[in-house]
């Protein structure tokens, strides 16, 4: 099979090529998936302002914001050390 940019790699690079083509990056223990989202113009302006002040990329700002948002919703769910009590019948 031939791909748009030439033949498909074979050997040890083949799985790496497939992951990259699917938008997945592996960096050590981290696995990241490329996502496309639409951002409102006012948010873009604010991201650019923070980037100018801090040097923090738009992507990193968004990653941190999503992580914080999920933490405020207790995700991943934190399991309590003790099991739920069994209700009396």
pLDDT recorded at residue 42: 97
Cα 28–Cα 32–Cα 33 angle in degrees, nearest 5: 150
Give the residue from 15, 56, 59, 52 showing the smallest Cα distance to 36: 59
pLDDT digits (tens, 9 = 90+) for 42-72: 999 999 999 999 999 999 999 999 999 998 9
- Taking the CA of residue 35 as centre, how many other CA atoms within 13 Å lie in the half-sphere pointing to its CB? 10
Please state the pTM of the whole predicted model.
0.54
Predicted confidence (pLDDT) at residue 16 exceeds the cutoff of 60: no
Parse the chain into domains and list their residue ranges: 11-72
Structural tokens at position 17: 């090529």
């Amino acid at each position: 099979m031939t791909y748009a940019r030439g033949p498909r790699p074979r050997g040890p690079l083949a799985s790496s090529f497939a992951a990259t083509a699917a938008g997945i990056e592996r960096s050590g223990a981290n696995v990241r998936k490329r996502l496309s989202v639409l951002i409102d113009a006012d948010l873009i302006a604010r991201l650019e302002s923070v980037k100018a002040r801090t040097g923090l990329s738009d992507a990193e700002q968004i990653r941190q914001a999503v992580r914080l948002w999920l933490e405020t919703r207790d995700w991943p769910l934190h399991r309590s050390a003790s099991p739920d009590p069994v209700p009396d019948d």
